[in-house]
C-alpha cells in the first residue's frame, strides 16, 4: 500500500486506519505499507524500515513492540512506549531528511549560479 491515506483529512484518516487494523486482525495478511508519516508507521506496523535519502537503501529496521490489538490509533500515540519509539526512529530519519534538504539546496545553488 503506497500512502493510501495521504489525501484524507485527519478524522477520516483515523477512521480508515482503525478499520484497516481491524480487518488486518481478522486475516493477518502480509502488508507492505509505504508512508512518510512516522506516527502512522509506528501505530500500524510490526516493523518500521528507514530508508536512506539516496540511493535508497535500508538504513535501519525497528521492531514495533506495541501490544496488539492496538485499538484506536489516536490513543496509542500518547503511550510512553510509542513516544520512545518515535524519538528513536525520528533520530535516524532526521539525518536522512537533513541530507535530502542539503542536496536539494546545493542543486538549487548550482542552477542559480549557472
CA atoms within 13 A on the CB side of 104: 7
Examine residue 36 and say whether the peptide bond preceding it is cis (omega within 30 degrees of 0): no
- pLDDT score at 80: 95
Per-residue pLDDT, averaged over 84-98, amounts to 94
Torsions phi, psi of 108, nearest 5?
-65, -45
Quote the pLDDT of residue 110: 85
Report DSSP letters for the chain, one per residue.
-BSTTTTS-HHHHHHHHHHHHHHHHHH------B-S-HHHHHHH-SEEEEEPSSS--EEEEEE----SS---HHHHTTSHHHHHHHHHHHHHHHHHHHHHHHHHHHHHHHHHH-
pLDDT above 70: residue 96: yes
Averaged pLDDT for residues 11-36: 86
In the chain, how many domains are there? 1
Q: Tell which wins on pLDDT, 51 or 54.
A: 51
Read off the pLDDT band of 1 (50, 70, 90): low
Average pLDDT rounded to a whole number, residues 64-92: 90
pTM: 0.77
Domain range holding 71? 10-113
2 lies in a domain? no
Q: How far apart are CA 113 and CA 106, in angstroms?
A: 11
Residue 31: pLDDT above 90? Answer: no
Amino acid at each position: 500500500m503506497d500512502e493510501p491515506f495521504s489525501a484524507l483529512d485527519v478524522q477520516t484518516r483515523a477512521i480508515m486506519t482503525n478499520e484497516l487494523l481491524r480487518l488486518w486482525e481478522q486475516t493477518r495478511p502480509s502488508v507492505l505499507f509505504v508512508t512518510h508519516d512516522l506516527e502512522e508507521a509506528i501505530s500500524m506496523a510490526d516493523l518500521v524500515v528507514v530508508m536512506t535519502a539516496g540511493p535508497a537503501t535500508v538504513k535501519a529496521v525497528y521492531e514495533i513492540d506495541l501490544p496488539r490489538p492496538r485499538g484506536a490509533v489516536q490513543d496509542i500515540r500518547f503511550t510512553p512506549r510509542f513516544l520512545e519509539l518515535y524519538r528513536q526512529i525520528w533520530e535516524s530519519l532526521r539525518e536522512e531528511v537533513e541530507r535530502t534538504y542539503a542536496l536539494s539546496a546545493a542543486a538549487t545553488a548550482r542552477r542559480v549560479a549557472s
